[in-house]
A and B are shown apart, each in its own frame.
Chain A
Amino acid sequence: AQSVTQPDIHITVSEGASLELRCNYSYGATPYLFWYVQSPGQGLQLLLKYFSGDTLVQGIKGFEAEFKRSQSSFNLRKPSVHWSDAAEYFCAVGLPTDSWGKFQFGAGTQVVVTP
């Protein structure tokens, strides 16, 4: 079955430390891949996306993600976390339909940043 998996429900990281959030997908072909961030009481904001080409993509707020076809993964990283990065992070895939208009989201990873 087609799926998007974020194995970590909750991650706690110290401010200034590095962060890596995992995302795995299961689809017949390589979908479009996205990472979104959601702060409390807010909608989702796009951090970065991968359609094709360079497998290391840069996003906003100092985030980057690496697409690994062999592992069906699209992990999100940040070298040095700031307190404002505390939020929920969602991996999403765009499915190959007629218009690529269908998206599926993972369950999310809650990131807590400690002083």
Chain B
Amino acid sequence: EAGVVQSPRYKIIEKKQPVAFWCNPISGHNTLYWYLQNLGQGPELLIRYENEEAVDDSQLPKDRFSAERLKGVDSTLKIQPAELGDSAVYLCASSLGGGAGELFFGEGSRLTVL
């Protein structure tokens, strides 16, 4: 069974440019998460989807960040415009939801903003 797939793995952009990250969760997983991981820190939740509905986006900086999960499967996280402080790893995870608990993570997308 395929795991959580993310792309691109690495992205280098100049500040003020836009960037997008894509995530394909494990088949059948209704819950999808985007986490931000700064160097030397634990993941911090940006947004959580239950199917196509964003049920927790309280930590998403909505002035520059946006996300969507069309048809309740793949998801895209966008930053526009990027700032220097956005340099980090963006992790996507999925789970069965409904109290099953375990998160399955992708390998992450490392963003460097110059």
* One of B41, B50, B103, B106 near A99 (C-beta < 8 A): B50
The stretch of B14-22, B68-76, B80-88, B93-101 that contacts the partner chain? B93-101
A-B contact number at CB 8 A: 68
* Cβ < 8 Å to B, chain A residues 2-59: 4, 9, 32, 34, 36, 41-46, 49, 51
User: Are A41 and B107 in touch, CB under 8 angstroms?
Assistant: yes
User: Are B42 and A101 in touch, CB under 8 angstroms?
Assistant: no
Which B residues lie within 8 Å of A45 (CB)? 105
Which A residues lie within 8 Å of B93 (CB)? 43-44
* One of B4, B50, B106 near A101 (C-beta < 8 A): B50
Shortest distance from the beta carbon of A101 to any chain B beta carbon, whole Å: 5
Q: Which residue of A lies closest to B107 (CB)?
A: A43
Shortest distance from the beta carbon of A50 to any chain B beta carbon, whole Å: 10
A46 CA to B95 CA in the complex, in Å?
A: 12
Q: Which residue of A lies closest to B42 (CB)?
A: A105
* One of A9, A41, A101, A108 near B95 (C-beta < 8 A): A101
User: Are A94 and B98 in touch, CB under 8 angstroms?
Assistant: no
Counting contact residues on chain A (CB < 8 A from B), the size range is: 20 to 34
User: Are A42 and B107 in touch, CB under 8 angstroms?
Assistant: yes
* Cβ < 8 Å to B, chain A residues 90-106: 90, 92, 94, 99-106
Which A residues lie within 8 Å of B106 (CB)? 43
Shortest distance from the beta carbon of A84 to any chain B beta carbon, whole Å: 18
Instruction: Judge if B1 is at the interface, Cβ distance under 8 Å.
Output: no
Which B residues lie within 8 Å of A46 (CB)? 102-104
Instruction: Judge if A107 is at the interface, Cβ distance under 8 Å.
Output: yes
A104 CA to B33 CA in the complex, in Å?
A: 12
Which A residues lie within 8 Å of B99 (CB)? 99-100
A-B contact list, 18 entries, CB within 8 Å: A32-B101, A41-B107, A43-B91, A43-B107, A44-B43, A44-B103, A45-B105, A46-B104, A51-B101, A99-B97, A100-B99, A101-B56, A101-B97, A102-B48, A102-B56, A105-B43, A107-B42, A108-B41
